[in-house]
Amino acid sequence: MSNNYLHLDLVGHAGTETAPPEMDSLIVLTERTQVQRLGIPAVMLERIEKAFSGDKTVTFNVFGSRHTLLILVPDKGLETLRLAGASAYGLLRKHGVQALRIKGLHVLEKKERYAILEGMILNSYSFDKYKTEKDTDTVVAHLPARLFSQADLQELKILTEAISLTKTLVNEPPNSMNAVQFADVVQTIGRQYGFDTEILEKSEIEELGMGGLLAVNRGSVIPPTLSVMRYRPADALNKKPIVLVGKGVMFDTGGYSVKVGGNMISMKSDMAGGAAVLGLIAAIAGNELPYYVVGLVPATDNKIAAEALVVDDIIRMMDGTTVEVQNTDAEGRLILADALTYAKRFDPELVIDMATLTGASAAITGPYGIAVLGNDQQQIDVLKDIGEQVYERLLQLPLWKEFRELLKSGVADRSNLGGPVGGVSTSAIFLEHFTDYPWIHLDIAGAAFVKEAKGYRQKGATAVPVRLLYEFVKSRIKRR
């Protein structure tokens, strides 16, 4: 399921193949002094010198007996380098390059070198499963062993495979990825990457009293599932797990509060949070990080049928809270609330939920970032810093007490809808009621699925926030 068309190979040390002497080259220029040392044709020097005075990544194509592709990166910021890598991969595919050397990386620090590779691999993803003519050509990049380690490249490979898995799950059409099929994938990936899985089916969900998940599922002929994933290595540094909860609405019609005006298109992406949980645990387990994590994905369709949930219904959640349904399109919080209640049994050190939860969040951040709320400010601040590094940026919104008044109901303990004001905050406050532990909520509605390709993001699924939370877990390992 990786769908990545770039392969990395180390050369220059014992045990590896030597790159052929006649090979295409990609030269990364980050300093003026490199221009003279790398044997670039004189006709290009003036143009390159002028380009160094600009502030954008510039690419050049130099042709001889072989392709020599130049990419100029005046700024060594990590995101600039990722975008440079993405641009470089685009050039390679444009010119039909299948094998190449990468030069000029010796002037970069380790994290900068890997940022270029990351951008290249991320841009090499393609979802072509349903195309009759598939693009099967791969690009092999030969890297100097003195600048890279096999272990670090293997970690990058597994992480980007997990990111591609996440994208593919979200990109799958609704008739190929329902709640039961997602649970089957969870079990397959668990066996592949080395973590334990348990799938709770409808009868078990009923025994638990998960009224939110069951209510949303009433309009579907496909039963709901709750996928439970556990990765607890023998050398785990934490006794209490981080619990990751992902919204798994496999397709969202809005229910009887039906989505109109074309807003139902791309609602296969309403399970992007659940896909991200699976991808993240696959990356953590695949790279054998010494950290105990649990993943929970409540999954169902939100469809329309004679028995489907309607407005004015009152439902009882797993923890006993009664909820007046005022909008059947505010369904994500109902299934997440039951999963957050279920998370209590793990006595977690921290719970992070991720969901394409509100259009209000997408209106604020667009495709550029993630809304974050929660009750653990210290960990939110850590996530913000990491978000700037991996460029899955966070915008914190408030949990003001005034917003709580908007969720009051005259006939039940609370309403599932807060009204037109503070939609992101009221949705998070609804979720907060079901927590009694350190908790962070990520609303990824704007960034999880995009309409246009840009940089290393293809049109469609982006796998946000897998990279963010993977680095967050690594940061906790380093601190311990």
Query: Which residues are known catalytic residues?
Result: 259, 333
Query: What separation, in Å, do the N-terminal and C-terminal C-alpha atoms of the chain show?
Result: 33
Type of residue numbered 11: V
In this structure, what token pair is assigned to residue 60?
Answer: 């050049």
Euclidean distance between CA atoms 333 and 25, whole angstroms: 51
Euclidean distance between CA atoms 453 and 86, whole angstroms: 11
What are the C-alpha distances in Å from 437 to residues 84, 242, 440? 41, 11, 10
What are the C-alpha distances in Å from 328 to residues 127, 292, 311, 312? 32, 35, 6, 10
Euclidean distance between CA atoms 88 and 73, whole angstroms: 11
In the block, which residue shows the tokens 């100097």?
Answer: 144
Which of helix, strand or coil describes residue 302? strand
Give yes or no for a contact between 355 and 335, defined as CB atoms under 8 angstroms apart.
Answer: no
What are the C-alpha distances in Å from 321 to residues 161, 317, 338, 399, 430? 40, 5, 10, 20, 11
